């Protein structure tokens, strides 16, 4: 009756954008519905490509090029991205990690010890950037929808994207 689901790894080939359905959970996390094209790579089987919809947190949504865990049905290949449990996307894990980093930083500052790595510094392309230091050169105008880009915010984002159409922005790393 129901197709058996199997776990696999998948690469996100494209984010086809938001379905403009946003909801906020009781913890204040904003969730968005995105449509993705995935290349699912089942263990010991041929990879396949599929389009899927996923409910993802707005500020930590998977991006093209990311490897994600998925569950898929053998016959139909219906695929679901597994956000829960992934420290890159799961809001609960992100919140817990930030709390731990903040507590470790505060304790280090109070005790006079060196501040732990990973608190206040972003590592990118072999170089360290302060949290408010630009990491990307981004366009003034979104090439997808024509909206003006907040360059000060997009240039320090982990994955710069248009705040209006939610499409990834073309960007070059700051060297």
Using the structure block, give the residue that is written with the tokens 């609960």: 92
In the prediction, which pLDDT does 125 show? 39
In the prediction, which pLDDT does 124 show? 39
The average pLDDT across 78-88 equals 91
In the prediction, which pLDDT does 50 show? 95
56 and 72 assigned to the same domain: yes
11 and 90 assigned to the same domain: yes
In the prediction, which pLDDT does 132 show? 58
Final residue before a domain boundary, out of 67, 91, 113:
113
For the chain, how many residues are written?
175
Query: Is the pLDDT confidence value at 86 over 60?
Result: yes
Final residue before a domain boundary, out of 64, 82, 113:
113
DSSP label at residue 159: S
Query: Mind listing the pLDDT tens digit for each residue in 44-81?
Result: 999 999 999 998 888 888 999 999 999 999 888 999 99
Q: Is 22 exposed, middle or buried (0-12, 13-18, 19+ CB in 10 A)?
A: exposed
In the prediction, which pLDDT does 121 show? 39
Total domains, the chain: 2
45 and 87 assigned to the same domain: yes
90 and 44 assigned to the same domain: yes
129 and 107 assigned to the same domain: no
Count the alpha carbons within 13 Å of 35 in the hemisphere toward its beta carbon.
9
In the prediction, which pLDDT does 122 show? 42
Final residue before a domain boundary, out of 81, 113, 145:
113
80 and 37 assigned to the same domain: yes
64: number of Cβ within 10 Å: 13
Q: The whole model's pTM is what?
A: 0.58
44 and 85 assigned to the same domain: yes
Q: Which residue has the higher pLDDT, 49 or 165?
A: 49
96 and 146 assigned to the same domain: no
The average pLDDT across 161-175 equals 80
Query: Average model confidence (pLDDT) for the chain?
Result: 82
109 and 127 assigned to the same domain: no
Query: Is the pLDDT confidence value at 27 over 90?
Result: no
User: Structural domain of residue 83, as residue ranges?
Assistant: 1-113
138 and 99 assigned to the same domain: no
Helix (H, G, I), strand (E, B) or coil at 49: strand
């Amino acid at each position: 009756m129901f197709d058996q689901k199997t776990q696999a790894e998948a690469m996100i080939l494209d984010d086809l954008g938001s379905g403009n359905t946003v909801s906020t959970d009781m913890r204040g996390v904003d969730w968005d519905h995105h449509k993705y094209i995935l290349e699912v790579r089942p263990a010991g089987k041929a990879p396949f490509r599929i389009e899927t919809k996923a409910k993802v947190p707005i500020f930590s949504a998977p991006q093209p090029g990311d490897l994600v865990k998925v569950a898929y049905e053998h016959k139909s290949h219906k695929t679901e991205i597994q956000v829960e449990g992934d420290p890159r996307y799961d809001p609960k894990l992100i919140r817990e990690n930030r709390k731990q980093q903040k507590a470790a930083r505060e304790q280090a500052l109070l005790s006079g010890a060196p501040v732990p790595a990973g608190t206040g510094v972003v590592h990118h392309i072999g170089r360290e950037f302060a949290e408010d230091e630009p990491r990307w050169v981004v366009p003034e105008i979104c090439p997808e929808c024509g909206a003006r880009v907040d360059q000060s915010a997009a240039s320090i984002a982990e994955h710069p994207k248009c705040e209006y159409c939610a499409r990834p922005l073309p960007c070059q790393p700051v060297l």
